[in-house]
Amino acid sequence: MSSAGVRVTRAQAEDLIRKGVALAIEARDEFWAAYSREEAGKRKTEEAGGGTRQRPLVAASVGCYGAAQADGSEYRGAYGLTVEELMDWHRPRLAILGETDADLLAFETIPCQAEVVAILQLLREGREQEGSAPTSRRTPCWITLACQDATHLNSGESLVSCVQLVKALDTGSRPQVVGLGVNCCAPQHVEGALTVLREGLLTISAAKEVISAAKGSERILIAYPNSGEVWQDKRWLPGTGVCPSSRDFADLARKWVVAGARVLGGCCRTTPETIKALRACLLAK
């Protein structure tokens, strides 16, 4: 039951998950058809660095356990659950989303090492059961971590340890985890966190298209922080952020690109105006 008092059955909830992806794909396809007609596949665009514009990708969100509890535990990273319990919790949603036509799976706002391990174990479980499990489809994915500073998850655990886990558990010539990064952390920590991730991964793809990373052994860096406002008593405290304007957020993003980020955006307390400012700032660089 949501805070608004709306009740849904499990079957209805599963249908809503599928519908969310379908609507995103529908919106993308409508945009792309209109864009293609207008450009006729010939016109060059600034955002692709002089090349033709890329067809947008749809990433299906796989949120963290804490966010579903509505108690702010994703900002503490203290679940009190085992890896196996987290795997059991994530498995049904991953099975549903793995069957959709999403281009990627986005594991977001992951605040603790146990949840990182659970995700990686589920992905491996799917690969090992190839052809027999709903999760066996090798949909590329990214994992973005929720951090309290530039070197630690919200749980207080080392950011470096998560890089090591990804390298150890997502093995093979073609990684399924094609991106690693941070989201819903304060913007002032992003540059440092990206540096930690970049140095840990060693091989970072600068490919223009995210999904192309799945063809090789490289991974891309991702960053979409929140506004930096403080979360307290189950609410954001207005005016406590480090980016009082969308322009401030966009200016910081220049440093994230220099630090290696290839996918950028905004999370909690950012707005469409933030994304507009971000896009304008990056195109003007």
Residue 270: Cβ-neighbour burial (10 angstroms; 0-12, 13-18, 19+): buried
Instruction: Show binding-site residues for Zn(2+).
Output: 184, 267-268
Instruction: Show binding-site residues.
Output: 184, 267-268
